[in-house]
Amino acid sequence: MTNKSARLNIRLPEEDLQELEGIRERAGLQTVSDVVRQAIESYLHDEAATWNADKISAIVPAALIEDVEMFIGSGDATDLSQAVTLALTGWVEDRKRYYMEGRESLRQKVAQAIDERDTRKGMARTASRMKVQ
């Protein structure tokens, strides 16, 4: 199977080209084109993963970050972004469950109160009929 490709010609300032050359050396790549290809692949991957997401910034205690990094290192998440997403998902689901259970509990209490009221009214009617006889 052949891959279709296209050639791109771009103009870069000399400083950017020198930076790309430095990245090529540090990454052990053969050409600056390899660096650019990797950068484009990484960018496209990031964009595809976040097209329907919002970026947030938060101040988090260092001890918590250390724990998160430990869990990432053990394979519980692939990176910080995934770890935060998993944590937020768990928290949101917990809140939803809490409020839904609270709503259900309230419905049960209301139904029970209505039943008790109806029972008292029924008993009152029965008592008043008994007095009449």
- The 10s digit of each residue's pLDDT in 2-36 is 678 888 899 999 999 999 999 999 999 999 999 99
- The 10s digit of each residue's pLDDT in 49-70 is 677 778 788 999 999 999 999 9
Task: Kindly state the greatest CA–CA separation across the chain.
Answer: 109
Are the C-beta atoms of residues 77 and 83 closer than 8 Å to each other?
yes
Q: How many Å apart are CA 49 and CA 73, to the nearest integer?
A: 21
- The 10s digit of each residue's pLDDT in 87-128 is 999 999 988 888 888 888 888 888 888 888 888 777 777 767
For the chain, the structural domain boundaries read 12-51
